[in-house]
């Protein structure tokens, strides 16, 4: 029984950390940030043989489809940081669900052990 209480306490500490992240006032940008190398299409450019121009995109789901928005060079670092923060929030939500499931299993086990039965 003490082991289960310790497990629950640890899960509650993890939950508090996740809540702190999810309730923070820090801004974020929804979407997936990516960097790719492309060919520009201009004749005579050195990229005709091998894609070399860096393009950054932000993939956002709209109406069930992913729409890619090109990110300006001046905005790259900020958009990357804000998109990473969005990913951290999504991960935190997923971890919160896993914690709930673990706690549910522990409580089921506790109830099972407390059951004295009726004969």
pLDDT of res. 90: 96
* The pLDDT of residue 1: 72
Distance between CA atoms of 98 and 104, rounded to whole angstroms?
10
Token pair recorded at residue 96:
């919160």
Question: For 45-90, how does the pLDDT look when each residue is reduced to its tens digit (9 = 90+)?
Answer: 888 888 889 999 999 999 999 999 999 999 999 999 999 999 999 9
Would the pLDDT of 117 be above 80? Answer: yes
Which of left, alpha, beta for 13 (phi over 0: left; psi -120 to 50: alpha)? alpha
Give dist(CA 33, CA 31) in Å, integer.
6
pLDDT in tens, 6-56: 999 999 999 999 999 999 999 999 999 999 999 888 888 888 888 889 999
């Amino acid at each position: 029984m003490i082991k289960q209480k310790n497990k629950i306490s640890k899960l509650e500490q993890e939950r508090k950390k996740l809540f702190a992240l999810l309730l923070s006032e820090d801004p974020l940008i929804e979407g997936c940030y990516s960097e790719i190398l492309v060919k520009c299409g201009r004749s005579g450019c050195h990229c005709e043989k091998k894609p070399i121009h860096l393009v950054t995109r932000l993939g956002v789901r709209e109406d069930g489809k992913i729409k890619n928005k090109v990110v300006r060079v001046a905005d790259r670092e900020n958009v990357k940081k804000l998109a990473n923060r969005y990913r951290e929030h999504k991960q935190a939500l997923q971890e919160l669900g896993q914690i709930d499931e673990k706690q549910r299993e522990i409580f089921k086990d506790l109830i099972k052990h407390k059951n004295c039965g009726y004969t």
